[in-house]
């Protein structure tokens, strides 16, 4: 994203009571400064919390601040192992789709960052971050002039209403559901079963569009985090005239600086300049390069080899959401010329081994697995200290309310696994319950994880039966409530800096459905009670309630064994300019990139 200009001084600082914090990356591109000292990295992640700002019209007006030394022209090559799960914005809830969304979509709001840990929410197609009234229960947005889609159609409030309402449709199953549940409750689909494609719309008392330029959201309780939530890729605008429902996933329409010229699912994606994008309306994005060529199916080891060699087209290439392959990390960090072409940072993700509670019903088995798993071995496959740190619990160091010493299963004392404790728990467990079906992606990294898990669990008498899944559809497959798997590795990071965006989406029983990130199918009355309580409290009190919920979930239910906290370590070619770590995406910041020559 962009560096902030002097307009930032006129931005509106969000009150601490809104609970809006942002945490910076553990390091910028300054050589070998991340990954060698885990305690220091975590301390930085915790110390660098800063109040976020909700920006006014001045800070939301384009063009974006120029990147030093930036030039125009050329095409960036993108190396990516797995294909994209979705391109329909409403279906985007994973990191690869979010990165692409930065290039081709726009929403009502967006995050703007300066590379120093300062972040604000600006108006994207809206004139500002939003105006609240009625104690924060009503939010009003005014659309900027001159916002058009790639076909030249001007975006109006009807398109915003359509974007929201289509999220109620049955064919939208993989995206976020915050806005829908805030507006219409957990059974929101029943309120608008056809997703607004018929004659029925949400009532004006919920979502009002009094004219072409105005959108008003009405909630039953204060929603101070709305501007941050609307900045999620999943709420990017889908123009009503060109919505093809299920088919939209393959040929979406752009509002951003680039548009799709060619898309071969799982193989290639080509982006070219969108001539209908007006930089004067955009304070976040640039259009420095002529296009982007995505090459899918390139393994992380191949990506790393090409980028270390830095020959030919690789000079213009980046890793998108992949990382430096673990066995080649020493080749990178010991060569100063290569190491300076890296992006390093602490990610918000906690990697866990999910238990399908509908199948792994015996808590002794879940506890035994949690004691037995070898975080050190798993992290070795990620690149050692450059890839992550052992996780003692389900909250990341980048999350407000993180408790570094909360370690109910002794993961920090025995990161290689407590085999004796696991065996003790399993001594009276029937043999039929000591066979677990493990779903894993068909990727290099996941193969390593499979071997590490099989090795650790076999030591305590648990047999692991591996079931390989295409990486592009992995989350869709494990997201099915009736999936045939017992365990699977997932990673979750906060959608914005609030524990509510961790506990609610993945442990709320009301949200168990196909496509829901409640991958373990947690449905517990006590958890529901604590979620309801936290959502009604001011942030200071809510933080304590979220911690109480966290403790109860991990100790009394144990739906997921914490494995490691993820770090990012990416490589790019020598002709790439403007490269930096994005706090918002936790990957290379695609909004600032250009080619040096």
* Res 19: pLDDT: 30
* Res 383: pLDDT: 84
As a whole number, mean pLDDT of residues 463-467 equals 97
- State how far the Cα of 463 lies from the Cα of 480, in Å rounded to an integer: 24
- Residue (of 142, 103, 105, 104) closest to 123 by Cα position: 142
* Res 281: pLDDT: 98
- State how far the Cα of 394 lies from the Cα of 355, in Å rounded to an integer: 14
Contact 28, 587 (CB under 8 A): no
* Res 39: pLDDT: 64
Write out pLDDT tens, residues 180-213.
999 999 899 999 999 999 999 999 999 999 999 9
Supply 136's token pair.
């924060």
* Res 496: pLDDT: 84
- State how far the Cα of 282 lies from the Cα of 280, in Å rounded to an integer: 6
* Res 68: pLDDT: 95
For the cut 80, the answer to whether the pLDDT of residue 36 exceeds it is no
- State how far the Cα of 398 lies from the Cα of 388, in Å rounded to an integer: 13
| Cβ neighbours of residue 420 closer than 8 Å, sequence gap 6 or more | none
Handedness of CA 265, 160, 53, 63 (dihedral sign): positive
As a whole number, mean pLDDT of residues 450-472 equals 96
- State how far the Cα of 503 lies from the Cα of 557, in Å rounded to an integer: 13
Record the pTM.
0.82
Residue 407: CB atoms within 10 Å: 16
For the cut 60, the answer to whether the pLDDT of residue 14 exceeds it is no
Average pLDDT, the chain: 90
Write out pLDDT tens, residues 48-90.
345 578 999 999 999 999 999 999 999 999 999 999 989 999 9
* Res 22: pLDDT: 27
- State how far the Cα of 79 lies from the Cα of 257, in Å rounded to an integer: 20
DSSP H helices in 193-238: 226-230
- State how far the Cα of 486 lies from the Cα of 76, in Å rounded to an integer: 41
For residue 1, what pLDDT band results from cuts at 50, 70 and 90?
very low
Write out pLDDT tens, residues 112-133.
988 777 789 999 999 999 999 9
Residue, of 28 and 328, whose pLDDT is higher: 328
* Res 51: pLDDT: 54
As a whole number, mean pLDDT of residues 464-471 equals 95
* Res 31: pLDDT: 31
Supply 24's token pair.
């910076």
Strands 435-441 and 463-469, by their bridges, are parallel
Residue, of 382 and 331, whose pLDDT is higher: 331
Q: In degrees rounded to 5, what are phi and psi of residue 208?
A: -115, 140
- State how far the Cα of 104 lies from the Cα of 100, in Å rounded to an integer: 7
Q: Could you tell me what percent of the chain has a pLDDT over 90?
A: 79
Write out pLDDT tens, residues 210-227.
999 999 999 999 998 999
Residue 37: CB atoms within 10 Å: 13
Q: Listing from the earlier edge strand, what are the strands of the sheet with 53-54?
A: 12-13, 53-54, 119-123, 109-113
- State how far the Cα of 168 lies from the Cα of 589, in Å rounded to an integer: 31
Residue 582: CB atoms within 10 Å: 23
């Amino acid at each position: 994203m962009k560096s902030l200009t002097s307009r930032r001084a006129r931005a509106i600082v969000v009150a601490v009571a809104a609970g809006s914090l942002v945490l910076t990356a553990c390091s910028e591109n300054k050589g070998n400064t991340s990954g060698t000292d885990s305690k220091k990295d975590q301390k930085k992640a915790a110390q660098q919390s800063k109040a976020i700002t909700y920006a006014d019209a001045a800070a939301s007006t384009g063009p974006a601040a120029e990147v030093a030394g930036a030039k125009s022209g050329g095409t960036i090559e993108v190396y990516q192992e797995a294909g994209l799960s979705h391109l329909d914005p409403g279906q985007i809830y994973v990191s690869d789709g979010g990165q692409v969304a930065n290039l081709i979509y726009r929403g009502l709001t967006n995050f703007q960052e300066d590379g120093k840990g300062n972040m604000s929410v600006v108006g994207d197609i809206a004139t500002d971050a939003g105006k609240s009234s009625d104690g924060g229960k009503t939010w009003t947005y005014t659309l900027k002039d001159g916002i058009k889609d790639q076909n030249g159609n001007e975006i109006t409030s009807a398109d915003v209403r359509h974007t929201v309402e289509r999220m109620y449709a049955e064919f939208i199953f993989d995206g976020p559901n915050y806005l829908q549940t805030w507006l219409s409750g957990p059974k929101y689909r029943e309120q608008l079963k056809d997703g607004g494609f018929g004659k029925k719309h949400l009532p004006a008392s919920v979502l009002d569009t009094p004219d072409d330029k105005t959108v008003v959201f009405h909630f039953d309780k204060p929603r101070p985090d709305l501007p941050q939530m609307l900045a999620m890729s999943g709420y990017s605008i889908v123009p009503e005239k060109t919505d093809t429902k299920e088919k939209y996933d393959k040929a979406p329409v752009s509002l951003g600086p680039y548009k799709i010229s060619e898309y071969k699912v799982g193989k290639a994606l080509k982006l070219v300049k969108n001539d209908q994008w007006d930089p004067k309306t955009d304070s976040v994005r640039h259009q420095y390069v002529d296009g982007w060529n995505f090459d899918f199916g390139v393994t992380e080891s191949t990506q790393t080899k090409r980028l270390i060699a830095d020959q030919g087209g690789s000079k213009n290439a980046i890793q998108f959401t992949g990382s430096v392959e673990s066995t080649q990390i020493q080749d990178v960090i010991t060569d100063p010329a290569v190491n300076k072409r890296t992006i390093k940072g602490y990610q918000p993700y906690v990697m866990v081994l999910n238990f399908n509670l509908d199948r792994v019903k015996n808590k002794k088995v879940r506890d035994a697995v949690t004691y037995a798993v070898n975080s050190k071995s798993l992290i070795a496959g990620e690149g050692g200290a450059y890839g992550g740190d052992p996780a003692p619990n389900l909250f990341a160091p980048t999350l407000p309310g993180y408790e570094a010493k909360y370690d109910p299963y002794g993961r920090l004392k025995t990161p290689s696994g407590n085999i004796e404790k696991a065996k003790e728990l399993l001594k009276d467990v029937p043999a039929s319950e000591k066979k677990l079906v493990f779903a894993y992606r068909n990727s290099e990294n996941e193969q390593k994880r499979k071997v590490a898990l099989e090795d650790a669990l076999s030591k305590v008498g648990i047999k692991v039966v591996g079931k390989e899944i295409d990486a592009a559809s992995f989350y869709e497959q494990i997201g099915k409530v009736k999936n045939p798997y017992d365990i699977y590795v997932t990673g979750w990071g906060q959608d914005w800096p609030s524990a509510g965006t961790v506990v609610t989406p993945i442990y709320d029983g009301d949200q168990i459905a196909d496509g829901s990130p409640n991958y373990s199918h947690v449905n517990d009355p006590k958890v529901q009670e604590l979620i309801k309580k936290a959502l009604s409290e001011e942030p200071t009190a809510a933080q304590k309630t979220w911690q109480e919920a966290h403790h109860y979930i991990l100790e009394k239910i144990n739906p997921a064994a914490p494995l490691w906290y993820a770090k990012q370590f990416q490589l790019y070619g020598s002709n790439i300019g403007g490269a930096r770590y994005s706090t918002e995406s936790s990957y290379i910041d695609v909004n600032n990139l250009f080619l040096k020559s």
